[in-house]
Amino acid sequence: MNLLYKSTRNAGRTATASEAILKGLAEDGGLFVPEYIPKLDVTMDELKGMTYQETAYAVMKQFLTDFTEEELKDCIAKAYDSKFDTEVIAPLVKVGDVYHLELFHGATIAFKDMALSILPHLLTTAARKNHVKNDIVILTATSGDTGKAALAGFADVPGTKIIVFYPKGGVSRVQELQMVTQKGDNTAVVAIHGNFDNAQSGVKALFEDKELEKELDAQGYQFSSANSINIGRLVPQVVYYVYAYAKLLENEEITSEEQINVTVPTGNFGNILAAYYAKQMGVPIAKLICASNENKVLFDFFRTGVYDRNREFVLTSSPSMDILISSNLERLIYTIAGQDAEKNADLMRQLNEKGSYEITEDMKKKLDDFEGGFATEEETAEAIRTTYAHTGYVMDTHTAVASYVCAQYRKNSDDGKKCLIASTASPYKFARSVMSAIDKKYAEWDEMDLIDELKSISNTEIPRAIEEIRNAEIRHNRECDADRMKDTVKEILGV
């Protein structure tokens, strides 16, 4: 029996997993969700001895039921290989009294690699299964991390092309260098004269352009999305929560059936939703602690039941969490509304029209699994500084938000369960903020000198991703005005 997928805004239509991955977003604007969350069909004892790749298969086969065993294992083997700098793929590190699940050992040293290294393979397999003859053109607007991870994932994948738009002057120096030095004949990177919103609306307009769709089809191309709204990005993220629990058990840090809490630094709500799915699959997780930075729209939501994006957008030192519309929350809203697509669609309409909505008391009761918290900029820096002082471990700014929130929760509750922290980026990617948190004197230093200093104080290796951009050749220098994105895409594709 196939597990089918439905749109969060339409009760009627269903899609297979491969169709949902190909489409990315449902035609009614909703997100694809599985009709139910499947249970694990292997025991924790069996999972204990498994490699990351074996765990990935055990988890993903439950969701992606129309993929054959061979197809899925092939995708997994191509994704989780020597692109990662450790064979265990996602190491578990004990820091003080909490466990950090390091999700930053892939090609671009942020957790986006965990899903974006496999999505290209799932997508091309899905295209083959559904007899799609066209090449898939991935269009992405990025504020930094997603663009590079998608480029790295899709580079030289046959049957695909990828075009990334980033706001000129709107990303960090490391992030820009990572993108403009990207190799691969099928990759294109464009700096637009405008901000991230311009890039994002430009991409959306291209997706909705029916005329362009026809022109592209005639030339053997069709668009798809590598955004975190694609269910093909969510499912691979469930894997590492299952894996982490099994490793805690294997290392005898916990006993059989012992419940743990999980803290996730959250932006678009994808990563923490994956943890929620892992819990529903049968992993003994008690609380899901949602950690926000000063853009604390989710903290307020969990406290009051009101989601309100009408507030000032704050630029923080954890930019990948600077977000006021957490798109994946819609999947949770749909679930707590009792899978009522109409009710969810109505709330999303309110969000669109007035920027806010309020859930019912009934729905609120179903949020017991979640706990919200946030860290200010000063608290984030304090977490980096004190953790380094006490343990010698250096964490990035996003992870620091989670670390702070987790510590606050433990202090203010009588919940003594062991806590897993999703560690989402390498400190090398945010060296300036991280080093300045440790000592203010670093604020004046040159970026590359900071990287060498970070290596020396943390006793870790400089990741390949950083070494690469130090000497790499600039391969992309295309720029365009925000209203010229369509012509630019046509020029790149030669149509």
For ligand PLP, the binding residue among 182, 266, 316, 433 (CB under 6 A) is: 266
Q: Is 39 exposed, middle or buried (0-12, 13-18, 19+ CB in 10 A)?
A: exposed
Please name the residue that has the structure tokens 């362009």: 212
Q: How far is the CB of 153 from ligand PLP (least distance, A)?
A: 14
The Cα angle at residue 211 between residues 206 and 212, in degrees rounded to 5 = 45
Phi and psi, residue 445, nearest 5°: -70, 155
Locate tokens 């091309």: which residue? Answer: 124
Alpha-carbon span 28 to 25, nearest angstrom: 8
Nearest approach in angstroms of CB 145 to ligand PLP is 4
Q: Does 424 bind ligand PLP (CB under 6 A)?
A: yes
Backbone φ and ψ of 418, nearest 5°: -65, 150
Q: Which stretch binds ligand PLP (CB under 6 A): 27-35, 58-66, 79-87, 264-272?
A: 264-272
By CB under 6 A, name the one of 115, 188, 321, 435 that touches ligand PLP. 321
Neighbouring C-beta atoms of residue 309, cutoff 10 Å: 16
- Residue in the structure block whose two tokens are 């997603």: 146
Closest to 316 (Cα-Cα) out of 271, 384, 380: 380
Judged by CB, which is closer to ligand PLP: 309, or 475? 309
What whole-number distance in Å separates Cα of residue 190 and Cα of residue 383? Answer: 36
Q: How far is Cα 71 from Cα 41, in angstroms, rounded to an integer? A: 19
Compare residues 57 and 269 and give the one whose CB is closer to ligand PLP.
269
For the CB of residue 149, give the shortest distance to ligand PLP in the complex, in Å.
Answer: 8
Q: Nearer to ligand PLP by C-beta: 135 or 145?
A: 145
Q: Which stretch binds ligand PLP (CB under 6 A): 14-22, 60-68, 105-113, 167-175?
A: 105-113
Is 193 exposed, middle or buried, given 0-12, 13-18 or 19+ CB atoms closer than 10 A? middle
Nearer to ligand PLP, 109 or 351 (CB): 109
The one segment of 70-78, 178-186, 261-269, 485-493 that binds ligand PLP by CB under 6 A: 261-269
Chain centre distance of CA 482: 26
- Residue 112 contacts ligand PLP per CB under 6 A: yes
Per CB under 6 A, contacts with ligand PLP among 167-186 are: none
CB count in 10 Å sphere of residue 70: 8
Which is closer to ligand PLP, CB of 16 or CB of 178? 178
Phi, psi of 129 (to 5 degrees): -60, -35
Contacts of residue 473, Cβ cutoff 8 Å, sequence gap at least 6: 181
Of 269 and 428, which CB lies nearer to ligand PLP in the complex structure? 269
Rounded Cα gap, residues 216 and 233, in angstroms: 25
Binding of ligand PLP by 270 (CB under 6 A): yes
Alpha-carbon torsion angle 57, 61, 64, 65, nearest 10: 150
Q: Give the nearest distance from C-beta 228 to ligand PLP in angstroms.
A: 6
Q: Which stretch binds ligand PLP (CB under 6 A): 247-255, 260-268, 278-286, 433-441?
A: 260-268
Task: Indicate the SS3 state at residue 152.
Answer: helix
- Active-site annotation holds for 112: yes
* Residue 269 in contact with ligand PLP, rule: CB under 6 A: yes
Q: Encode 332-351 in three state secondary structure.
A: HHHHHCCCCHHHHHHHHHHH
We find the least distance from the C-beta atom of residue 249 to ligand PLP, in angstroms, to be 25
Q: Site size for ligand PLP, by CB under 6 A?
A: 17
Integer Cα distance of 108 and 106 in angstroms: 6
Q: Is 425 in the site for ligand PLP (CB under 6 A)?
A: yes
Q: Which is nearer to ligand PLP, 129 or 331 (CB)?
A: 331
Q: Which of 271, 316, 380, 458 binds ligand PLP (CB under 6 A)?
A: 271
For residues 80 and 105, the answer to whether their CB atoms sit within 8 Å is: no
Calculate ∠ Cα 287-359-39, nearest 5°: 40
Report the distance separating Cα 452 and Cα 462, nearest Å: 8
Q: Which is nearer to ligand PLP, 112 or 129 (CB)?
A: 112
Binding mask 43-82 for ligand PLP (x = CB under 6 A): ----------------------------------------
Nearest approach in angstroms of CB 112 to ligand PLP is: 5
Interface mask (CB under 6 A) for ligand PLP, residues 392-421, using x and -?
------x-----------------------
Report yes or no: 162 and 248 within 8 Å, Cβ to Cβ: no
Q: Does 265 interact with ligand PLP (rule: CB under 6 A)?
A: yes
Check residue 230 for interaction with ligand PLP (CB under 6 A): no
Binder of ligand PLP out of 37, 76, 92, 110 (CB under 6 A): 110
Instruction: Tell which one of 24, 106, 120, 267 touches ligand PLP (CB under 6 A).
Output: 267
Q: Can you tell me which residue has the tokens 């204990």?
A: 48
**Of residues 23, 112, 247, 429, which has the active-site annotation?**
112
Binding segment (CB under 6 A) for ligand PLP, from list 109-117, 129-137, 166-174, 330-338 = 109-117
Q: Shortest distance, CB of residue 397 to ligand PLP, whole angstroms?
A: 8
3-state secondary structure of 160: strand
Residues with catalytic annotation?
A: 112
Interface residues with ligand PLP (CB under 6 A) are 110-112, 145, 228, 265-271, 320-321, 398, 424-425
